[in-house]
C-alpha cells in the first residue's frame, strides 16, 4: 500500500488574446479498484465554471468554458491517493482495447517486430501472459531510444518504432500495438509517476481479467507509486487538456508535477 | 420563437437594404435608359460620385450595360440583387419559402435579362417580384422583431439613397417618420447621439448642406449591424 | 399522369422558383445546381408497399437494437452473430459513445434505406444510411408543385399524401426533446444539402442554427438569441460525427459545437441522429442486417439484401476470387457512390490490382452480385428513355417507427449507368404510394 501526495499544474500562454475557450481536462486521478482518492482539488485560473463528468473509459473529466478574452489558462490539480494492489478485482476489458487505432497500427518494421514476439497460447494462463508482456516491454525498451523532441503527439507507433526513438508516449504506443497484435487487450495510460517533472505514460494489459501495468520507458512493472489520470485506446483518448477557442494564437504550454509519498503526521 | 440570433437580424436588415437598393437603382436605370433614347446622355460620372462608387465605365452606354448586368462589378444592380439573395437564402425558415421564392425569381429573371437584347421589360418584372417579396414577407414573418428589422433595412437604404442622389427629397420626411416607428419595433440597438441628431434634422434635413452628417447618422444608426 | 408529364418544363420552372438545388464542388469551386426532376413518378401499389413498409420498420428497429447493443452489452458479439472485428474496427464505431444511451434509447431517428427492384419485381436493400441521410425535401416540395400543375392527376389517382413529412419529423424531435427548443444544425449554405436544411426548418418550425449560434454551458446547450438565450432540447444535426464537437472529435472542426458531448452525456440534449451510428451502416455491417432482424426481433427478415460476400470469411473470399469479374466490389471505407467498382468494367491490369487489394485486406471490401435492377422511363424532349433508378425510403423513429409514404427515387444520368447518387449527377422522381 502506498499513500501518495500529487500535485500537477499546467499553464497555457497565448500569444494573443483568445475567447470562447472551451476545454476538457483529464488531470484528476480516477478512482479504480486499486486506487482510492482521499483528497482531490482542482482550481482553474482565470476563475471559471466547470463541471465534472466521467467519460466512456471511466476517466474523471472537468469540462468548462471561458467566454471572455484571456491570454492564459492555468489549472492546478492536487490531492492524496491511496494505491493498494491487494484491492485488485476482476475487471473484464472492453473489447475495444483489443483493436488497433490510427495511432496504434502495426505497420512496416513494427509489424515485423510484433510478429517476432511470438504468440500467447493460453490467454488464461497468468504466468504466460504476464511473461509475454514483460518480454514485450523489455524488447520495446531495448529497441527504442529515449529522445525528447523527436516525435509529436501525432506520431504513430509505427513511425516512432521505425525511427527507433521517442518519448514515453511513443514507447507506450509501440507496446500497446505489440500486445494487441498478440491478441492481448491493452490500454494506454496517461498519469503521474513518483518524482517530479513531466507527466508520464505507460501501458496496462488485461491478464486473465486483471489489469497489469508495464512501463516500457523505464523497463519496469508498474508499482503502487504510479497514479493514472486517464485510460484510453491511445493518447488521443487521454490528453490532459483539450481545448477549442477563437483566436489565432500560438500556445506555449508549461507543465509541472510532483508525486511523493505522503508523510504520516 | 422569442429571440433571433444577431446574425439573423443582421441578415434581415441587409436583405432589406439590398432589396431597396435594387428597387431604387432599377427605377433610376429605367429613367436613364429612356433618356438615352433621345435626351442628353445620363450623367453617370456624377451618379458614381454621389453614390461614392468607383467610376470604371467608359461611356454612358458602357455604364448602362455594366452597372446593370456586370457580375464582376461589385456595385452593379445584379450584384446588389445577388447580395439580397445571399442574405435571403439563409433566412428561409424566418421569411418563408414563399417569400424567398420571389427573390429567387428576381435573380432568375435578372440572369436571363443579362443575356437579353431588350432588358428593360425584364427590369419591370424584377421590380414586380421585389414588391411581391415585400408584401409576402410582411405577411409571412410572424415575429414582429424580425419583420421590422427587415423594414428598418428598407428605410435606412431609402433615406441613404435619397440623400446621396438628391432623389425624391419630397418623400424624405415621410420616410423619416416611417423609420421612427419601425425602429421602435426592432430589437436592434440604436446609437443615441446619432438618433438625437437625426430626429433634430428630420423636419428640415437640407441634404445639400447636411449631407455628411446625415449619411453618418443614417449609416451608423444601428450599432449592431 | 400524362397531363402531369406534359407539364414537366413548368414543374422544373417551379422547382427553380423555389430554389430546389444541391451544391457540388467542382475543381474547388462551389456551384449550386438544380436537381433535375422527372415528372413520371415511380408508382408503388398498395399491397407491395405494405410489405415494404413492414420490412423497413423491421429493419430499422433491428438496426436501432444493434446500435444500443454494440455501445452497451455487445450480446450480438458474444453470441457470435457478428464478428467483433466488424464492429470495433469500423471507423464509425465511436469509443466516446460506449456506455452512453441516447434519450429514449433511439439511435437512428431518421433512416434512409436505399432499395432497388429487380426486373422480377423483388426488392433488395442496397444500403442503410443511418448517419445524416438526405433527400426527403426534394419529393416533398415536388409533390406540392406537381399538385399545382396538374390537379387532375391527383384527383383521379388514389395517391397517399406525402406532405406530412414535416410533422412526422417534428414528432420525432419532440419525442426525444430533453427540454427546450428544437434546432436544425447546418454547416452552412455552402453545404450540398443546404436547401434541405432550411426547407426542413421551415416545415418543422425548428430554428436553423449554425456554428456560433449554439453554445454549451454547464452541460446544457443554448441558442444564442439577441435578447435572450434559449435552451435547446433536440438538435437535428446535418453535419457528420467527426465535426460535431471539437473537444471530443476532430479538434480542427470549426463548424461544430464545442463540449456538445458533455450536454449529451448528461442527458440534457438529444442529438438526431445519435453520434456513433456509423457502426451500423458500414458497408461491411450491411451483410449482417438480416441476421440482426432474426437475432433481436426473432422474426424472419421481410426485406432481403443483395447477395453479398465478405472476403473476410475464407469461403466467401474464394468465391469472390473465382467470380471476380461478375461482381460489384465495394470499398467499405468510402461513401456516397464512391468506391463502388464493377469489376467487369475494369481492364485486366486494374482488375488484377483490385483483386490483390482484396486479397491483402479482405476485411475492407465487400462483393455483391450485380442486380439487374429495373429501369424507369424518364421523359426527355425526344421521347421517354429508360434509366436505372433506386429508391431511398425514409424511416422515422419517434415513439414508434413509421415509414414516410413516399421516398426519393433517383435515376442515373446516362443510360446503363447503375450509380444513381445525386453527387454523381442524376435526377429525381416523386414516389407515389397508392392507397388501394
- Chain C residues touching A98 at Cβ < 8 A: 84, 88
Q: Are residues C212 and C224 in contact, defined by beta-carbon separation less than 8 angstroms?
A: yes
Nearest residue in chain B measured CA to CA from C182: B1
pLDDT at B1: 41
Query: Percent of chain C scored above 90 by pLDDT?
Result: 71
Domain A2-85+240-261: which topology? Immunoglobulin-like (2.60.40)
Query: C 224-253 residues with CB below 8 A of A?
Result: 246-248, 251
Rounded-to-integer distance, Cα C283 and Cα C277, Å: 13
Rounded-to-integer distance, Cα C390 and Cα C126, Å: 9
By Cβ distance, the residue of B6, B101, B104 closest to C226 is: B6
Residue C386 lies in a domain: yes
The Cβ-side half-sphere exposure at C210, using a 13 Å CA radius, reads 14
B147-150 contact pairs (CB < 8 A, 24+): B147/B185, B148/B182, B148/B183, B148/B185, B148/B186, B149/B9, B149/B12, B149/B13, B149/B16, B149/B186, B149/B187, B149/B188, B150/B12, B150/B13, B150/B15, B150/B16, B150/B95
Residue C124 lies in a domain: yes
pLDDT digits (tens, 9 = 90+) for C326-346: 999 998 877 656 778 889 889
Residue C332 lies in a domain: no
Nearest residue in chain B measured CA to CA from C214: B5
Phi, psi of C343 (to 5 degrees): -55, -30
The Cβ-side half-sphere exposure at A213, using a 13 Å CA radius, reads 23
Question: Would the CB atoms of C262 and A24 count as touching at under 8 Å?
Answer: yes
Question: Would the CB atoms of C247 and A244 count as touching at under 8 Å?
Answer: yes
Q: Are residues B154 and B175 in contact, defined by beta-carbon separation less than 8 angstroms?
A: no
- 3-class DSSP state of C197: helix
Q: Are residues C64 and C71 in contact, defined by beta-carbon separation less than 8 angstroms?
A: no
Domain ranges of chain A: 2-85+240-261, 90-237
Residue C257 lies in a domain: no
Rounded-to-integer distance, Cα C343 and Cα C320, Å: 11
10-residue mean pLDDT profile of chain B (225 residues): values are: 75 97 95 86 93 93 92 95 95 94 94 84 93 96 94 96 91 92 93 91 86 93 91
Residue C220 lies in a domain: no
Q: Note the residue count of chain B.
A: 225
The whole-angstrom distance between residue C290's C-alpha and the CA centroid of its chain comes to 18
Rounded-to-integer distance, Cα C7 and Cα B177, Å: 48
- Chain A residues touching C265 at Cβ < 8 A: 53, 55
Residue C295 lies in a domain: yes
B51: distance to nearest CA of chain C, Å? 31
Per-position pLDDT tens, chain A of length 265:
999 999 999 999 999 999 999 999 999 998 999 999 999 999 998 888 899 999 999 999 999 999 999 999 999 999 999 999 999 999 999 999 999 999 999 999 999 999 999 999 999 999 999 999 999 999 999 999 999 999 999 999 999 999 999 999 999 999 999 999 999 999 999 999 999 999 999 999 999 999 999 999 999 999 999 999 999 999 999 999 999 999 989 999 999 999 999 876 5
pLDDT at A264: 65
Exposure class string for B132-171: b at 16+ Cβ within 10 A, else e: bbbebbeebbebebbbbbbbbbbbbbbbbbbbbbebeeee
| Percentages of chain C per state (helix, strand, coil), in multiples of 5 | 35, 25, 35
Question: Would the CB atoms of C19 and B104 count as touching at under 8 Å?
Answer: yes
DSSP state of A98: G
Rounded-to-integer distance, Cα A187 and Cα A177, Å: 10
Q: Is C267's Cβ below 8 Å from some Cβ in A?
A: no
**Chains A and B touching, counted as 3 or more CB pairs less than 8 Å apart:** no
- Chain A residues touching C74 at Cβ < 8 A: 95
Residue C184 lies in a domain: no
pLDDT at B3: 58
Alpha-helical (H) ranges within chain B are: 6-38, 44-51, 60-69, 77-89, 92-95, 97-114, 119-140, 144-165, 172-182, 192-201, 207-219
- Chain C residues touching B96 at Cβ < 8 A: 202
Nearest residue in chain A measured CA to CA from C212: A20
pLDDT at C27: 67
Rounded-to-integer distance, Cα C108 and Cα A242, Å: 29
Q: Is C163's Cβ below 8 Å from some Cβ in B?
A: no
Q: Are residues A169 and A185 in contact, defined by beta-carbon separation less than 8 angstroms?
A: no
pLDDT digits (tens, 9 = 90+) for C220-235: 999 998 888 999 999 9
Q: Is C193's Cβ below 8 Å from some Cβ in B?
A: no
Rounded-to-integer distance, Cα C392 and Cα C42, Å: 12
- Number of domains, chain C: 1
Q: Give the orientation angle of helix C194-204 with respect to helix C165-176, to 10 degrees.
A: 80
Question: Would the CB atoms of B89 and C189 count as touching at under 8 Å?
Answer: yes
pLDDT at C160: 95
Residue numbers of the domain that contains C399: 2-159+277-306+371-433
Q: Is the pLDDT of residue C29 over 90?
A: no
**Chains C and B touching, counted as 3 or more CB pairs less than 8 Å apart:** yes
Phi, psi of A79 (to 5 degrees): 165, -165
A2-85+240-261 and A90-237: identical CATH topology: no
pLDDT at C383: 86
pLDDT digits (tens, 9 = 90+) for C34-81: 788 999 999 999 999 999 999 999 999 999 999 999 999 999 999 999
Q: Which residue has the higher pLDDT, A73 or C149?
A: A73
- Chain A residues touching C219 at Cβ < 8 A: 51, 53, 63
Highest mean pLDDT among A176-185, C144-153, C183-192 belongs to A176-185
**Backbone dihedral region of C60: left (phi > 0), alpha (psi from -120 to 50 degrees) or beta?**
alpha
Residue C312 lies in a domain: no
Q: C-alpha distances in angstroms, A27 versus A10, A241, B75, C99? A: 9, 8, 55, 22
C312-320 contact pairs (CB < 8 A, 24+): C312/C83, C312/C85, C312/C86, C312/C284, C312/C362, C312/C363, C316/C367, C317/C358, C317/C359, C317/C362, C320/C358, C320/C367
Question: Would the CB atoms of C17 and B104 count as touching at under 8 Å?
Answer: yes
**pLDDT-based confidence at C12, cuts 50/70/90?**
confident
Q: How far apart are the first and last CA of chain B?
A: 21
Q: Which CATH architecture has domain A90-237?
A: Roll (3.10)
Phi, psi of B207 (to 5 degrees): -60, -25
pLDDT digits (tens, 9 = 90+) for C354-386: 999 999 989 889 999 988 888 999 988 788 999
By Cβ distance, the residue of B1, B92, B108 closest to C16 is: B108
Q: Is B224's Cβ below 8 Å from some Cβ in C?
A: yes
Q: Are residues A144 and A160 in contact, defined by beta-carbon separation less than 8 angstroms?
A: yes
CA angle C64, C303, C367 (to 5 degrees): 90
Of C292, C427, C404, the residue nearest C52 (C-alpha): C404
CB neighbours of C108 closer than 8 A, spacing ≥ 6?
Answer: C60, C63, C64, C67, C130, C273, C274, C277, C280, C397
pLDDT at B2: 46
Q: Note the residue count of chain C.
A: 436
Rounded-to-integer distance, Cα C146 and Cα C139, Å: 10
Q: Is the pLDDT of residue C20 over 90?
A: no
Q: Which residue has the higher pLDDT, A39 or C12?
A: A39
CB neighbours of A130 closer than 8 A, spacing ≥ 6?
Answer: A207, A212
pLDDT at C381: 79
Q: C-alpha distances in angstroms, C377 versus C38, C380, C387? A: 9, 9, 6
pLDDT digits (tens, 9 = 90+) for C258-272: 999 999 999 999 999
pLDDT at A72: 94
Q: Are residues A117 and A142 in contact, defined by beta-carbon separation less than 8 angstroms?
A: no
* Arithmetic mean of pLDDT, C416-428: 68
Mean pLDDT, chain C, as a whole number? 91
Q: Which residue has the higher pLDDT, B117 or C85?
A: C85
Query: Percent of chain C scored above 70 by pLDDT?
Result: 95
Q: Are residues C245 and C256 in contact, defined by beta-carbon separation less than 8 angstroms?
A: yes
C136: distance to nearest CA of chain B, Å? 16
Q: Are residues C160 and C435 in contact, defined by beta-carbon separation less than 8 angstroms?
A: yes
Exposure class string for A201-223: b at 16+ Cβ within 10 A, else e: bbbbbbbeebbbbbbbbbeeebe
Rounded-to-integer distance, Cα A171 and Cα C18, Å: 59
Q: What is the pTM of this model?
A: 0.90
Phi, psi of C32 (to 5 degrees): -100, 135
Count of B-C CB contacts under 8 Å? 66
Rounded-to-integer distance, Cα C184 and Cα C178, Å: 15
Q: Is C32's Cβ below 8 Å from some Cβ in B?
A: no
Q: Is C227's Cβ below 8 Å from some Cβ in B?
A: yes
Q: C-alpha distances in angstroms, A237 versus A37, A202, C110, C250? A: 22, 14, 29, 12
Q: Note the residue count of chain A.
A: 265
How many other β-carbons are positioned within 10 Å of the β-carbon of residue C335? 18
Residue A231: strand pairing partners:
A189
Amino acid at each position: 500500500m502506498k499513500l501518495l501526495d500529487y500535485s500537477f499544474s499546467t499553464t497555457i500562454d497565448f500569444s494573443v488574446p483568445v475567447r470562447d475557450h472551451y476545454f476538457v481536462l483529464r488531470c484528476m486521478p480516477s478512482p479504480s479498484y486499486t486506487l482510492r482518492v482521499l483528497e482531490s482539488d482542482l482550481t482553474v485560473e482565470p476563475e471559471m465554471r466547470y463541471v465534472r463528468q466521467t467519460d466512456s473509459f471511466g476517466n474523471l473529466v472537468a469540462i468548462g468554458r471561458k467566454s471572455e478574452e484571456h491570454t492564459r489558462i492555468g489549472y492546478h490539480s492536487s490531492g492524496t491517493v491511496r494505491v493498494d494492489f491487494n484491492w485488485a478485482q476482476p475487471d473484464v476489458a472492453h473489447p475495444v482495447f483489443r483493436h488497433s487505432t490510427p495511432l496504434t497500427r502495426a505497420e512496416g518494421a513494427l509489424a515485423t517486430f510484433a510478429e517476432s514476439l511470438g504468440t500467447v497460447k493460453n490467454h488464461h494462463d497468468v504466468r504466460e501472459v504476464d511473461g509475454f508482456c514483460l518480454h514485450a516491454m523489455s524488447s520495446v525498451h531495448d529497441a527504442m531510444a529515449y529522445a525528447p523532441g523527436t516525435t509529436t503527439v501525432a506520431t504513430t507507433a509505427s513511425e516512432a518504432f521505425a525511427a527507433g526513438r521517442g518519448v514515453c508516449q511513443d514507447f507506450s504506443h509501440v507496446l500497446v500495438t505489440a500486445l494487441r497484435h498478440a491478441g492481448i487487450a491493452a490500454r494506454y495510460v496517461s498519469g503521474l509517476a513518483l518524482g517530479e517533472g513531466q507527466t508520464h505514460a505507460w501501458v496496462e494489459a488485461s491478464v486473465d481479467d486483471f489489469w497489469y501495468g508495464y512501463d516500457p520507458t523505464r523497463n519496469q512493472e508498474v508499482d503502487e507509486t504510479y497514479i493514472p489520470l486517464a485510460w484510453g485506446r491511445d493518447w488521443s483518448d487521454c490528453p490532459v487538456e483539450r481545448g477549442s477557442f477563437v483566436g489565432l494564437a500560438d500556445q506555449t504550454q508549461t507543465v509541472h508535477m510532483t508525486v511523493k509519498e505522503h508523510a504520516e503526521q | 420563437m422569442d429571440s433571433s440570433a444577431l446574425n439573423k437580424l443582421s441578415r434581415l436588415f441587409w436583405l432589406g437594404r439590398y432589396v431597396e437598393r435594387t428597387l431604387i437603382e432599377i427605377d433610376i436605370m429605367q429613367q436613364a435608359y429612356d433618356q438615352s433614347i433621345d435626351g442628353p446622355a445620363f450623367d453617370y460620372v456624377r451618379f458614381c460620385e454621389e453614390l461614392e462608387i468607383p467610376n470604371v465605365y467608359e461611356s454612358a452606354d458602357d455604364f448602362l450595360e455594366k452597372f446593370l448586368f456586370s457580375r464582376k462589378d461589385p456595385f452593379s444592380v445584379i450584384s446588389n440583387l445577388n447580395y439580397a439573395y445571399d442574405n435571403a437564402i439563409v433566412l428561409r425558415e424566418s421569411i418563408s419559402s414563399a417569400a424567398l421564392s420571389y427573390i429567387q425569381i428576381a435573380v432568375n429573371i435578372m440572369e436571363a435579362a443579362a443575356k437579353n437584347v431588350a432588358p428593360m421589360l425584364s427590369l419591370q418584372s424584377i421590380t414586380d417580384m421585389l414588391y411581391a417579396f415585400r408584401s409576402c414577407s410582411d405577411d409571412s414573418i410572424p415575429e414582429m422583431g424580425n419583420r421590422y428589422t427587415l423594414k428598418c433595412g428598407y428605410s435606412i437604404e431609402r433615406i441613404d439613397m435619397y440623400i446621396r442622389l438628391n432623389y425624391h427629397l419630397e418623400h424624405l420626411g415621410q420616410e423619416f417618420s416611417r423609420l421612427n416607428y419601425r425602429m421602435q419595433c426592432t430589437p436592434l440597438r440604436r446609437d443615441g447621439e446619432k438618433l438625437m441628431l437625426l430626429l433634430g434634422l428630420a423636419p428640415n434635413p437640407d441634404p445639400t448642406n447636411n449631407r455628411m452628417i446625415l449619411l453618418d447618422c443614417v449609416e451608423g444608426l444601428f450599432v449592431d449591424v | 399522369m400524362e397531363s402531369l408529364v406534359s407539364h414537366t418544363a413548368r414543374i422544373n420552372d417551379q422547382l427553380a422558383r423555389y430554389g430546389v438545388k444541391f451544391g457540388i464542388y467542382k475543381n474547388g469551386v462551389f456551384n449550386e445546381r438544380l436537381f433535375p426532376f422527372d415528372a413520371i413518378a415511380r408508382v408503388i401499389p398498395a399491397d407491395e408497399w405494405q410489405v415494404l413498409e413492414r420490412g423497413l420498420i423491421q429493419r430499422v428497429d433491428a438496426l436501432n437494437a444493434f446500435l444500443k447493443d454494440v455501445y452497451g452489452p455487445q450480446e450480438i458479439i458474444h453470441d457470435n452473430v457478428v464478428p467483433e472485428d466488424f464492429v470495433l474496427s469500423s471507423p464509425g464505431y465511436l469509443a466516446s459513445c460506449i456506455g452512453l444511451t441516447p434519450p429514449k434509447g433511439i439511435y437512428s431517428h431518421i433512416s434512409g434505406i436505399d432499395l432497388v427492384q429487380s426486373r422480377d419485381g423483388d426488392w433488395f436493400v442496397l444500403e442503410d444510411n443511418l448517419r445524416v441521410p438526405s433527400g426527403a425535401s426534394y419529393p416533398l416540395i415536388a409533390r406540392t408543385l406537381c399538385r399545382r400543375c396538374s390537379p387532375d392527376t391527383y384527383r383521379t389517382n388514389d395517391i397517399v399524401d406525402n406532405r406530412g413529412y414535416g410533422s412526422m419529423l417534428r414528432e420525432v424531435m419532440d419525442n426525444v426533446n430533453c427540454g427546450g427548443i428544437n434546432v436544425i444544425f447546418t454547416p452552412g449554405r455552402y453545404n450540398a444539402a443546404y436547401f434541405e436544411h432550411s426547407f426542413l426548418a421551415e416545415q418543422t418550425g425548428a430554428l436553423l442554427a449554425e456554428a456560433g449560434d449554439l453554445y454549451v454551458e454547464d452541460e446544457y446547450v443554448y441558442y444564442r438569441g439577441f435578447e435572450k438565450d434559449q435552451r435547446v432540447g433536440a438538435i437535428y444535426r446535418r453535419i457528420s460525427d467527426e465535426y460535431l464537437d471539437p473537444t471530443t472529435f476532430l479538434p480542427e472542426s470549426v463548424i461544430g459545437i464545442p463540449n456538445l458531448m458533455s450536454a449529451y452525456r448528461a442527458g440534457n440534449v438529444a442529438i438526431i441522429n445519435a453520434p456513433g451510428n456509423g457502426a451500423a451502416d458500414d458497408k461491411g455491417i450491411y451483410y449482417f442486417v438480416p441476421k440482426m432482424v432474426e437475432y433481436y426481433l426473432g422474426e424472419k427478415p421481410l426485406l432481403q439484401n443483395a447477395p453479398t460476400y465478405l472476403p473476410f470469411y475464407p469461403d466467401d473470399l474464394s468465391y469472390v476470387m473465382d467470380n471476380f469479374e461478375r461482381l460489384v466490389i465495394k470499398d467499405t471505407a468510402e461513401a456516397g457512390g464512391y468506391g463502388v467498382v464493377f469489376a467487369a468494367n475494369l481492364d485486366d491490369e486494374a482488375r488484377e490490382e483490385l483483386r490483390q487489394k482484396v486479397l491483402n485486406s479482405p476485411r475492407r471490401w465487400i462483393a455483391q452480385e450485380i442486380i439487374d435492377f429495373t429501369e424507369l422511363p424518364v421523359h426527355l424532349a425526344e421521347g421517354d428513355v429508360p434509366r436505372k433508378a433506386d429508391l431511398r425510403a425514409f424511416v422515422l423513429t419517434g415513439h414508434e417507427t413509421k415509414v414516410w409514404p413516399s421516398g426519393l427515387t433517383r435515376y442515373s444520368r446516362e443510360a446503363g449507368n447503375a450509380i444513381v447518387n445525386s453527387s454523381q449527377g442524376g435526377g429525381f422522381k416523386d414516389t407515389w404510394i397508392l392507397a388501394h
